[in-house]
A and B are shown apart, each in its own frame.
Chain A
Amino acid sequence: MGNNVAINVTGVTKRFDEVLAVSNLSLRVNAGSVFGLLGPNGAGKTTTLRMILRITVPDEGSIQMLGQPLTESSQDRIGYLPEERGLYTRMKVRDVLVFLAGLKGLEDDDAGRRVDEWLERLELRSWAANKVIDLSKGMQQKVQFIAAVVHRPPVLILDEPFTGLDPVNAGIIKDIMLDLRKQGATIILSTHRMEQVEMMCDSICLINKGQSVLDGELAAIKRSYGKNTVRLEYEGDASFLDQPDLVAAINHFGAVTEVKLRANADAQEILKAAVARGVRINRFELVEPPLNDIFIEKVQGVAHA
């Protein structure tokens, strides 16, 4: 097992004065996987990431990367895209990237060559000599992404990698992430966008108030909840859903409506009620709960039905 674990956090606790930021947290990120680190604002995600990045040191517990305790040189083997983006705005794009690549341990020539390759790949070649401040926000994001991956780190930490990107650029970044993963990189993805997690992550850890409240393989987690949700598209009056003994919650998205069932409720009863009231059903699908609902339930502490 040992070699297949990229990051192993064991019983880690971190306090800032009287505030307990992370409490006895353990998590295990398999090598070559995409791992989702989730949690509400202020849950302790950033503190956890900073400890893995060796920006701060845990008060208790230990962290191992690729089977070894963290050392100064392990920083060279992690790439980091922080949520709060930041570059030297008055430096030239290429100079900034070569500098940051150098700080990750690359030699000057090597850094220059790789930076040029990445600028080419992300269609920023013609901007290489421009100052960062002259770039659009989306382009700056891509530059920042290059800074995270340029030294080909075996472990990559991406905090909200898609914010501010248009669908085309988001697609490019996503493809690169999958490509890196195929080459063996381990990716830790921290985001509030649950649909991204559902599409990309193999495993997740949900933390709240500094503690892990849910962790494991994403598919297994969802399976454990069972198919307790009905995904509906209909035309007509919504009153057929007014059945408190069957329906626990309703989520209208416009075209689609998600209905969460009470424990032991039979979805068939809802279909019957709809037909009885002359509502036209275009879609009726029994599904596992969306991660979004699981997140809200876990964080708000709603009893699992």
Chain B
Amino acid sequence: MHKLWLVMKREYLTRVRTRGFVVSTVIVPVLTVGILILQIVTASRQAARTLNIVVLDQDGTLADSVIKGLDGKLKNGQPEFHIVQTLERPSAGAEDNLRARVLNGQLDAFLVLPAKATDGKVPAEFHTRNPGEVTISSELNHAVSYAVIAERLHARGVDIHDVAQVVQGVGLKVIKVGTGGDSEEKGQTIILAIVVGMLLYTTLIIYGVATMRSVMEEKTTRVIEILVASTRPFYLLAGKVLGVAAVGLTQYGIWVTVGALVTAYGAAMASMAHAGALPSLHLSWVMLVFMVIFFLAGYLLYASLYAAVGAMVSNDQEAQQVQMPITMLIIAAVVLFNVILRDPNSSLSIGLSMVPFFAPILMLLRITLQTPPLWQIALCLAILVLTTATIVFVAARIYRVGILMYGKRPSLAELVKWVKYT
């Protein structure tokens, strides 16, 4: 058993030290966090200062009602816009003059309201040095449009406040009914389910293929000859599979921790910037436990298959061909996402989530969407564990013979013989 531990330790340490692991584990979340922080910081900064602007009204008809609409307040209670000056029917050089003032910093921006704005043919213009401030431009757009609409309605003898009252809807609140209490649904459950499903899909393939490559490396470098002269093939296989699994769990651990920190930080920042309304992807502990269980079971199943492939081939091209059916099985689970998302409790969904090759992904998807009856989860796990045990047994036998065989890839009949060898 000590030798199994040594094999596992080597597999884990050499893998964790690779550039690939560092990149995928550390840099990806760091980048994600960085981008998120950058967005939040810029979003909160843009609203932190009152903008000094000049309104330039070609007709001299709209300025008043537009300015009335620009009544937004900053967090500190100061107005969002300070109207330095309103120029009605300006002279020809007025815009150039204003441009110069924006450039030398006397002014933040100026808004140009076109002549005959109610025709809707010429857009209003906002001249600023920071055109990326999306909330400001949308606020301006809203104010100008509101003023123009009010003007048009007024021309038809209708008051805009009446219209606003007439077209007002009631809204719809979606409540998720769950065992842990009801919660308002803003689409976060489906997003979470898809994220979890995709995460499992990616890690199953990445770590399955990593196991296969590792077996192939030992075979092609012939180091396997010394290894099997030192310990049982089953220890070599088990140590490898468990070592890679430990790498996967390490990565999960880092991601979950970083994810939790980001969510907490993001929520704090978002409330400070009163951006709000980010649907938070809250992962409960129960979900996390299920994720680890299904990852491990699914990984053992697929890693054993991939390891057997690694043992029976002698080069990359062969590996590509032979691993195809296995990878297709995992991809098929992703293709079946839709069936589950449409109705997690249809008999088709239940049936598919019981198929051991799909179960790790599809059952987890169902659990995320809507916790199925316990007996279904139990049955699913039972089938999965039994299948996995069988596959580990068969794969170990193929591995044992395959690692010492070079030359042409075995036929199916030969594989059956390998499994039967004592």
Contacts and interface: CB of A to CB of B under 8 A. Distances in A.
Interface of A: 17, 50, 53-57, 72, 75-76, 78, 80, 82, 84-91, 99-100, 102-104, 147
Contact of A86 (B7, B224, B230, B231): B224
Which 6 A-B residue pairs are closest in the complex by CB-CB distance? Answer: A86-B222, A86-B223, A103-B230, A82-B225, A84-B222, A53-B229
B226 A90 contact: no
A147 B229 contact: no
7 contacts: A55-B229, A55-B404, A75-B229, A82-B226, A84-B222, A88-B218, A99-B6
B14 A91 contact: yes
A82 B217 CA distance: 17
Nearest to B6: A102
Nearest to B403: A55
B219 to A, nearest CB: 9
A55 B229 CA distance: 6
Nearest to A49: B229
Nearest to B13: A95
Nearest to A103: B230
A168 to B, nearest CB: 25
A86 B220 CA distance: 8
B10 interface: yes
A208 to B, nearest CB: 23
A84 B93 CA distance: 87
Contacts of B116: none
Contacts of B417: 17
Contact of B14 (A50, A55, A90): A90
A24 B331 CA distance: 52
Contacts of A100: 226, 230
Interface residues on B, range: 20 to 34
A3 to B, nearest CB: 24
A86 B404 contact: no
B221 interface: yes
A228 B224 CA distance: 46
B226 A86 contact: yes
Contact of B3 (A53, A82, A84, A103): A103
Contact of B6 (A17, A50, A103, A147): A103
Given A55-B229, A56-B404, 13 more contacts: A50-B404, A55-B228, A57-B422, A75-B230, A85-B222, A86-B223, A86-B224, A87-B221, A87-B223, A89-B221, A103-B3, A103-B230, A104-B230
B232 interface: yes
Task: Report whether over half of chain B's contact residues are helix, strand or loop; otherwise say mixed.
Answer: helix
Contacts of B226: 80, 82, 86, 100, 147
Contacts of A103: 3, 6-7, 227, 230-231
A102 B14 CA distance: 16
Interface in B296-347: none
A263 to B, nearest CB: 44
Nearest to A72: B232
Contacts of B14: 88, 90-91
Contacts of A17: 417
A29 B154 CA distance: 113
A84 B225 CA distance: 8
B10 A99 contact: yes
Interface string B388-422: 00000000000000001000000000000100001
Interface in B208-222: 217-218, 221-222
A50 B6 CA distance: 23
A78 B417 CA distance: 30
B10 A86 contact: no
Nearest to B235: A103
B414 to A, nearest CB: 9
B229 A80 contact: yes
A178 to B, nearest CB: 23
Most buried by A among B225, B228, B422: B225
A228 B227 CA distance: 46
A73 B404 CA distance: 21
A2 B6 CA distance: 35
Contacts of B7: 103
B255 to A, nearest CB: 26
A90 B231 CA distance: 22
Among B6, B10, B226, the one with the most A-chain Cβ atoms within 10 Å of its Cβ is: B226
Contacts of B224: 86
A100 B228 CA distance: 11
Q: Which has the most chain A C-beta neighbours within 10 Å: B10, B14, B217, B231?
A: B10
Nearest to B405: A16
B268 to A, nearest CB: 43
Contacts of A87: 221, 223
A91 B221 CA distance: 12
Contacts of A56: 404
Interface in B1-33: 3, 6-7, 10, 14
Nearest to B7: A103
Contacts of A104: 230
Nearest to A52: B229
Nearest to A82: B225
Interface in B373-398: none
A56 B221 CA distance: 20
B221 to A, nearest CB: 5
A72 B2 CA distance: 13
Nearest to A80: B229
A86 B422 CA distance: 27
Contact of B231 (A75, A84, A85, A88): A75
Contacts of B404: 50, 55-56
A50 B7 CA distance: 21
A57 B421 CA distance: 11
Contacts of A89: 221
Contacts of B10: 99
